[in-house]
Structure 1
């Protein structure tokens, strides 16, 4: 009952943040005009509400869900509460592919950039698996290989930025993570894909619970550990890759949301995954809202806001993990 209450509270907070996000901004929309802006094409606020802010809010919800659930899966697989898509190099791989596209194909259509980012995430996954294969995909090995791989991708990004300074602003905007300019084209891609992947993740929640207790116990319960870990890792990478392809390299959502969900409802993924999804969406909505209203008419990329929120919390988690040892 208490766990269900947390989910309801999270959804109510999401609705409130959506309303505020549609209302607030450089051009404020009064509450009595939001409904007409959503439904009446003749309304003066229709374009801003329906064509600018509503798709932006929708992308934030689905991307936040994707990053949070991807992080929750990784934390269960690696048995490390400080894991996230950033830690194993997935975000860096997607960013490298996106930055390479920005610099090498500056005139490419809009769909090329997110496709390149998703491809970069999947290539990162393949490299991670190939480098860890001889060591049976052990959690510690995956984490260490991911950190090293992320450093290599980050070096590649720096190379492009130094070599092609003309497009550095676009690359920095992508690497900071931003919801600026997101429209219905992105919503129509990210919403169904994240929904399907989330349903698949919920169907594997019990396997995640078993894998958390260790390989020996998992094998004694009849679980094919290597195969299931590889499949669930692919699922996590796919969710993170789709989210990053839509909003850029936004950090800390995949770390904070699963950890907060675990603090609220425990480590059973039947509840942890949906709670993490809601928290991730709320964090991204809040970060985007703050980024749009702090320095009106300018806009702070949402990735910077989430980093300002997430970095102190990450330091707190590190300190707590050290005290518990």
Structure 2
């Protein structure tokens, strides 16, 4: 297992699986979110429980479902047994291997490598060719909630923000970094959520029912590559996602006030999907590293870690607020 097992650069920095498979084939109940553009994020994980990339990096390595039940002390001892890591830590941090240094190193890598930009939308938006976006993508852009460039004479003939995407997917990274209940995971028969989301991590005494079933708004940059979608991977296609919003989500007691029926036509839904795909950035190939030899003198093969382990027949169940 490695970070890249679930956050593969060739798969939009995710694993393209509905629910991620962890150590020994165990599974949780959440999909691995992309780490693309997390450099700009305010909180990490679907429930926002980590305040930084450094904080996030310390979670999976000691999670019994994700990378195995082990203490931070065990992890540091194992890394200190790798001469190459000891040398690099001494050079960069002036110390032996530490948990703090490890977290900083991983977070720094994500900030400089896991980036998305110069998509068709960006090329159009920053003054490039007006033809950078197709007519369908331009209509989808307006439906999404963004205006065309002032010098673009194209007439989209659709209602601005009819799809109401920018209520949550706003800003240059297309996320407001907030948490919303859109009805995913609601079981009407049981009158309950499969996963309580943000509500779980709220401090006792300040829990808010509006946070029940609420999850962080993900960026929609690279969205074409990061399916299946939603925190539980329950939607396989962008068409399913758009239809979910079009119908007004799944009604439940904590449904976000901005989730309502959109009444998009089939053509308009197709245009929104077309615009979402126009947010795919320039492909950046990430070369696999040459890992330093361990205490046994052997170097692990990073290629092997890109393939998730086989699913265990009787996999662990999700522990709320723990995985992803």
| TM-score bracket relative to the smaller structure | under 0.3
TM-score (ref. length: structure 1)? 0.24
Task: From the two aligned structures, give the one with the greater helix fraction.
Answer: 1
Structure whose alpha-carbon radius of gyration is higher: 2
TM-score (ref. length: structure 2)? 0.24
